[in-house]
Structure 1
Amino acid sequence: MNFDPVLLTSRMQPMKAAGLWRDETINVFLQRALERCPDKTAVVAYSQSATEPVRLSYRELDRRVESVARNLASMGVGHADVVTFQLPNSWEFIAIALACARIGAVANPVMPIFRQHELTFMLNFGESKVFIVPKVFRGFDYEAMAREILPSLPHLKRVIVVGGEGEDSFDNALMREDAPPLTGPGIAPDDVLLLMYTSGTTGEPKAVMHTSNTLFSNLHAYIAVMELSDSDIILGASPMAHLTGYGYLAMIPVLLNSTTVLQDVWDAKRALHIVRTESVTFSMASTAFVADMCLAVENGDSTSTTFTKFNCAGAPIPPVLIERAHKQMGLRISSAWGMTECGAVTVTEPARALEKSGVSDGRPLPGIEIKIVDINGNELPCGETGTLLIRGASLFAGYLKRPQLNATTDDGWFDTGDLAFVDADGYMRINGRSKDLVIRGGENIPVMEIENLLYKHPAVMTCAVVGYPDKRLGERACAFVALKPGATLTLDDVRTFFDEQQVAKQYCPERLEIVDALPATPSGKLQKFKLREMARQFGESA
């Protein structure tokens, strides 16, 4: 593959001079662990299909990484070749990611939810050389799917199956001990390390390129703000095929020489068991994960006194949920905002989490700048909402084969497509996407305020508000709500509740849709574009 990381050149000298790009790859940090703490637990992998977790020391993890790397190299995988793996959170996922770096290949994790249509596009677009899948996961036969699409993938040389049989099984293909020693170079700091498709909140996936320097500049800054250390035990429950899981739950533990504890299928009750058993101290995931754990605690489960920090990203965190998590679990919920294109951009430090996480998405991490501009590109003052631009160390290397979509200015500002404002303390708040406004009769409806009010209702589990067309007013607000088990809710209930909260009547949603769950990406990021598509039909049928 001929990668063209066009967004790197202008940043190389200033970022390295500032010490933000350290020119270190993940190979450096794994080697450091082997020198400092070879027998320390690196990975504990819980699987729904196994009674006991797999526990790997750094020494054993390195042995498996070396085996995977040698066997991939023996298949002809080398520098800048793409290895695609569609795996749940598992030790194999981490070993493959590290093995790719060891031989200079590009890791391309993809979400387990993807099927033939999406995978055929991704594997062809990225010219993937090897595709690694589980035999079966959550009742679906991934091997059969991979075999089905193989004839339509001219670049693909091999399908390898975790839990499979024969020569293409993971054990027989990648754990063979007779593979020749490595001879080629590993990943270089400015080589493309990671190819990751955007989550699809807009419906148009693009292939994001990251290098060790762009990604790790973000992880180092995040470690400092979140006050993480080598003594932390990190729960990896958010999918690792998303940047949250790959960067913060798989790579950060290696950078720290700490321990990551993996959960392959999300279940709040089992997660709390893992937290207690493994003395977990920290995790990062979307708001839904916290809501699920709070509900499990309310139903009789317990947490651990060691589990004190959690970072939520992907959607604003309702203040009521922050309060519940702190009261019921002793958790300080730090808010964050970021994108696959740049990792975490803003984070609320733990010391101010209770004060700021409910009203902001944090402050910019070191090495990142943000700017709020109006429709003409003029910077807006504090408190005013406009388009969010970002630039800095962790901005991606560009979109693969689509540099025309990079959305950066000549001086390096990247247009996020999000609306935001900054408060007097320098904390940013995402105020929706540019398409996320509800304008009723010429008046902007404060969507996030409405959602936060709805979250206070005892029947509401999760919610989102979008606009739908109206001939007279232009738009009206529709609330999509997923209820707590056994709860009921009507539009009249919502109106009564809003009256009790003394909210302006025009702010109350004029339509209520009860759903089993809100549409979301595999990492839990809300897909409002799908809700807008559903709501559009209400206006058309009126």
Structure 2
Amino acid sequence: MTWQQLDEHAKSIAAVLYSSGIRQDDTVAVQIPNSIALTATYLALWRLGAVATPMPVSYRRHELSGIVRACDAVAVITTGRLGDRAMAAEALDPTTEHDRLHTVFAFGPDVPSGAVEIEPATVPRDDLVAASTYASGLHLTINDRVTICWTSGTEAAPKGVPRCHADWLAVGQGVQDGLGTTEESVLVNPFPLVNMAGFAAALLPWLIGGGHLVHHHPLDIAVYLGQIQQHRATHTTMPPAILTMLLQNDDLRGKFDLSSLQRVGAGGAPLPPPVVEAWQNDHGVEVINFFGSNEGVCLLGAPGDIPDPTVRAQHLPNYAAPDRSWVVRLSRSTEVRLVDPLTGVVVDTIGGRGELRLKGPTVFGGYLEGTAAASPFDEDGFLCSGDVFELCGDHGEYLRFVDRIKEIIIRGGMNIAPAEIEGLLQDHPAVSEVAIVGVPDDVLGEKCCAVVVPSAGATPTLDDLTAHLRARDIASFKLPERIELVDTLPRNAVGKLLRRHIRTDLLESK
């Protein structure tokens, strides 16, 4: 689509939504795969002043119902069918459970009875005029909420992360400074367009810089590389494992012409310096080191700030470094500090380690009411990231990621809260105790392993556990992919589960 065609497409979708009662400040759940339809749906909702709460298509009734309840959504927008799943029919079920949820919209085909079909080509002109008149009369500000994304931490339930126009503009401009997209750029987006990864690395740079956005979903390496070749992509994002795999696999890489690539964003796991160096020196592709979260951590190692690829691979800019200016404009409005999580003392010595804390325009204002047990901010108003960094460089100009304080598992860019899975497995008759931990995976980064203390006389299998979870309509990416049976689970003196001991003592030793 051209920009004008996309604008008309979004206006038609907005007309369908408006005619069925969607108004300013309404929250609408969106569960659509990466596509023109998804992009246009976001634009349509924002045109009406409504709030989008994006959900991965892998979410099922368990997650959908919880999110709808938490954010008081009035509608769901999805597809009639995706593969073997009747998405719209699944979304219709929660309408009987939530008083505010009144409409399920669906793109065809296979839109079931009871859902409102979105068919932009057949929208009556009167509906288009009515929606346009309504939109033109709205009073909108940069502080109006536009999204509620979801992130899983150590709590069992996901936490809502509200964002306004100003938040996303700040994130987008910061990333745009690093990526440097223009009207001539072509971006291929392989990440689900539901949270920081997809919004920051693809949607926002495209909207701000112009150019051509190509969606990819779900990840299929051959299709993905084919899109880069076909569309002569200049920018994309890749998990570090994929960057490494492609560099090592000459046969696969040689099947596709990737010569158009200029810059690739990567994050979510440490970047090997030799890999970043080889992409830049041997293939002319600059790798940008991204570090972000839905809550607002937004640091990026851009080539203009860290020219040496081996340094850029493992370091991020420390915006608090004295007498240092940075290409990324966010550096001038973002405060950064490392704090010892035990003592609360600010770390200011080279080689010192502490929790990364930030304050600035990309940081959100707080979790959606009722979705988080505690505030993520310290007494000075800094966001506590839960991530440990080391102060590096000759003058403390760099930060190096060390480890996560949080216990979440990150599988292919998707966050999994162990407590959520453990809670669902705890009532399995063959399970006495269970701990969900992440184990390394070459492609996805991490996978879930269920460490189980069996009930007396029972021998649960992986199939038993996954069947139990599937019966509760949980997303497939959260399912355990390995099981280990043990006699006891390690705990500290107050009974808290020692996950690190499980990973080191029970798993890495095998």
Q: What is the TM-score when the length of structure 2 is the normalising length?
A: 0.72
The number of aligned residues is 405
2:374 paired residue number: 405
Q: Distance in 1 between matches of 2:504 and 2:147?
A: 37
Q: Distance in 2 between matches of 1:327 and 1:522?
A: 36
Q: Secondary structure at the match of 2:401?
A: strand
Q: Distance in 2 between matches of 1:422 and 1:537?
A: 30
Q: Distance in 2 between matches of 1:114 and 1:242?
A: 14
1:488 paired residue number: none
Q: Distance in 2 between matches of 1:64 and 1:297?
A: 41
- Deviation of residue 211 (structure 1)? 0.9
- Paired residue type of 1:339: S
Q: Secondary structure at the match of 2:69?
A: helix
- Deviation of residue 404 (structure 1)? 6.3
- Deviation of residue 522 (structure 1)? 7.1
Q: Distance in 1 between matches of 2:101 and 2:224?
A: 37
- Deviation of residue 73 (structure 1)? 2.0
- Deviation of residue 328 (structure 1)? 6.4
2:71 is aligned, of 113, 119, 126, to 126
Query: Is residue 86 of structure 1 aligned with residue 31 of structure 2?
Result: yes
- Deviation of residue 356 (structure 1)? 1.9
Instruction: Report if the CA contact (8 A) 2:12-2:120 is conserved.
Output: no
Structure 1 segment 323-472 matched on structure 2, within 5 A: 323-326=277-280, 329-342=283-296, 344-349=298-303, 352=307, 354-364=309-319, 365-366=330-331, 367-374=333-340, 375-380=342-347, 381-402=349-370, 405-424=374-393, 426-434=397-405
Judged with a 3 Å threshold, the aligned counterparts in structure 2 of structure 1 residues 409 and 535 are, in CA distance, closer, same or farther, namely: closer
Instruction: Report if the CA contact (8 A) 2:288-2:300 is conserved.
Output: no
Q: Secondary structure at the match of 1:356?
A: helix
- Paired residue type of 2:175: Y
- Deviation of residue 147 (structure 1)? 2.2
Q: Distance in 1 between matches of 2:177 and 2:31?
A: 31
Instruction: Report if the CA contact (8 A) 2:277-2:310 is conserved.
Output: no
Instruction: Report if the CA contact (8 A) 1:192-1:209 is conserved.
Output: yes
2:91 paired residue number: 146
Q: Structure 1: 5+ residue runs without aligned partners?
A: 1-55, 437-477, 485-519, 524-528
Judged with a 3 Å threshold, the aligned counterparts in structure 2 of structure 1 residues 533 and 348 are, in CA distance, closer, same or farther, namely: farther
- Deviation of residue 79 (structure 1)? 1.6
Q: Distance in 2 between matches of 1:298 and 1:530?
A: 43
- Deviation of residue 82 (structure 1)? 0.6
The alignment-based identity, stated in percent, is: 21
- Deviation of residue 222 (structure 1)? 1.9
Judged with a 3 Å threshold, the aligned counterparts in structure 2 of structure 1 residues 276 and 57 are, in CA distance, closer, same or farther, namely: same
Judged with a 3 Å threshold, the aligned counterparts in structure 2 of structure 1 residues 87 and 291 are, in CA distance, closer, same or farther, namely: farther
- Paired residue type of 2:361: A
Q: Secondary structure at the match of 1:317?
A: coil
Instruction: Report if the CA contact (8 A) 1:68-1:99 is conserved.
Output: yes
Query: Is residue 535 of structure 1 aligned with residue 486 of structure 2?
Result: no
Judged with a 3 Å threshold, the aligned counterparts in structure 2 of structure 1 residues 283 and 352 are, in CA distance, closer, same or farther, namely: same
2:117 paired residue number: 169
Judged with a 3 Å threshold, the aligned counterparts in structure 2 of structure 1 residues 71 and 272 are, in CA distance, closer, same or farther, namely: same
List per-residue Cα deviations over 1:511-536 (Å, max 9, x = no partner). Answer: xxxxxxxxx9979xxxxx99859638
List per-residue Cα deviations over 1:115-141 (Å, max 9, x = no partner). Answer: 111111001111111101122224322
RMSD of aligned Cα (Å): 3.2
Q: Secondary structure at the match of 1:372?
A: strand
2:161 is aligned, of 208, 224, 227, to 208
- Deviation of residue 90 (structure 1)? 0.4
1:259 paired residue number: 212
Query: Is residue 270 of structure 1 aligned with residue 270 of structure 2?
Result: no
List per-residue Cα deviations over 1:290-310 (Å, max 9, x = no partner). Answer: 345446653342233220211
Judged with a 3 Å threshold, the aligned counterparts in structure 2 of structure 1 residues 480 and 408 are, in CA distance, closer, same or farther, namely: closer
Judged with a 3 Å threshold, the aligned counterparts in structure 2 of structure 1 residues 338 and 146 are, in CA distance, closer, same or farther, namely: same
1:229 is aligned, of 167, 175, 182, to 182
